[in-house]
Amino acid sequence: MTRFSVLTLDIEEGVATLRLDRPDKMNALNAQMRAEITQAVQEAGKAARVLVITGNGRAFCAGQDLSDAGNAASLDLERVLRDEYAPMLRAIWDCPIPTIAAVNGVAAGAGANLALAADVTIAAESAVFIQAFTRIGLMPDAGGTYWMPRQMGAAKAMGAALFAEPISARDASDWGMIWEAVPDMEFDTHWRARAAHLAQGPSEAYRNLKTALRATWQNGPDAQLDLEARLQGACGQTRDFQEGVVAFLDKRKASFEGR
């Protein structure tokens, strides 16, 4: 386990678990945490096969710590977003391995959008998502205006942003905002099983499918078909593809090496 000052990073059997660890502050994001998340995600991307981001205590992440650096009203928000939030979110977005946000409790403001930045978001049924920004005279940030309309549709995204009302994990799942909501008693076991599944999968295929799915928003059909051909060609050169074919013909589970 790597111990940072406000989070921990544990890597075991290919699964990196990044746990936000400011439970007394509901894991609110301060400058130190943003820097440590960026560093931890980059480390996990090199050393593991899947990354899970979760919270310690009753919250996933309550968003920006408004007590950070004294008077919140005096914060240079543009600088903070450009210099601290953007590198953190890009580290997650660019992470070469699958990323899971295991939302164990409230995810508010930037904390909600931190969760949405992961490839897959799994939430305990008691968890809620709140785009709380307008409650303090702000608009959604930390990627919220990018993730929300793509994942839940324009109408739901606009309502969530304007009204700043809690969205239950079940509603978030039904709307397509997250992958799934899981009963609290099963939550910990469930996300660990999901992470273990991905850690045993074909890493090159995962990297390439992430690239292809993200490119579809700006590509036309021809460009997307060309991209698929190029990326699938790379997958076809891997040991994992050879193993997958042999396992299929042998009617057994494939044993992927991640290359």
Confidence of residue 4 (pLDDT cuts 50, 70, 90): confident
* Residue recorded with tokens 């799915």: 213
Triad 224, 228, 232: Cα angle to 5°: 175
Residue 171 DSSP symbol: H
| Percent of the chain's residues with pLDDT above 70 | 97
Q: pTM for this structure?
A: 0.94
- The enclosing H or E element of 55 equals strand 50-55
Assess contact for 127 and 177: CB atoms under 8 A.
no
Is the domain of 150 the same as that of 104?
Answer: yes
Is the domain of 58 the same as that of 152?
Answer: yes
In a domain, residue 16? The reply is yes
Residue whose C-alpha is closest to residue 99's, from 152, 41, 143: 41
Query: Which pLDDT belongs to residue 219?
Result: 94
In a domain, residue 231? The reply is yes
- The enclosing H or E element of 227 equals helix 221-235
Assess contact for 124 and 169: CB atoms under 8 A.
yes
Assess contact for 108 and 130: CB atoms under 8 A.
yes
CATH number, domain with residue 70: 3.90.226.10
Q: Is the pLDDT of residue 52 over 80?
A: yes
Report how many domains make up the chain: 2
In a domain, residue 75? The reply is yes
Quick: pLDDT tens for 95-146.
999 999 999 999 999 999 999 999 999 999 999 999 999 999 999 999 999 9
Task: State the Cα–Cα distance between residues 99 and 253, nearest whole angstrom.
Answer: 23
Query: Which pLDDT belongs to residue 204?
Result: 94
Is the domain of 140 the same as that of 82?
Answer: yes
Query: Which pLDDT belongs to residue 1?
Result: 67
**One-character DSSP codes across 180-215:** EEE-HHHHHHHHHHHHHHHHTS-HHHHHHHHHHHHH
Tokens of 55: 């919270």
Quick: pLDDT tens for 162-191.
999 999 999 999 999 999 999 999 999 999
Is the domain of 224 the same as that of 120?
Answer: no
Confidence of residue 9 (pLDDT cuts 50, 70, 90): very high
Query: Which pLDDT belongs to residue 257?
Result: 84
* Residue recorded with tokens 């953007």: 86
Query: In terms of residue numbers, what domain contains 109?
Result: 2-199
Q: Is the pLDDT of residue 71 over 60?
A: no
Is the domain of 190 the same as that of 219?
Answer: no
Average pLDDT on 44-63 reads 96
Q: Is the pLDDT of residue 60 over 90?
A: yes
Is the domain of 195 the same as that of 208?
Answer: no
In a domain, residue 233? The reply is yes
Q: Is the pLDDT of residue 69 over 70?
A: no
64 forms beta bridges with 29
CATH number, domain with residue 217: 1.10.12
Task: State the Cα–Cα distance between residues 164 and 132, nearest whole angstrom.
Answer: 5
Q: At what angle do helices 31-47 and 86-94 cross, to 10 degrees?
A: 20
In a domain, residue 255? The reply is no
Assess contact for 104 and 126: CB atoms under 8 A.
no
In a domain, residue 53? The reply is yes
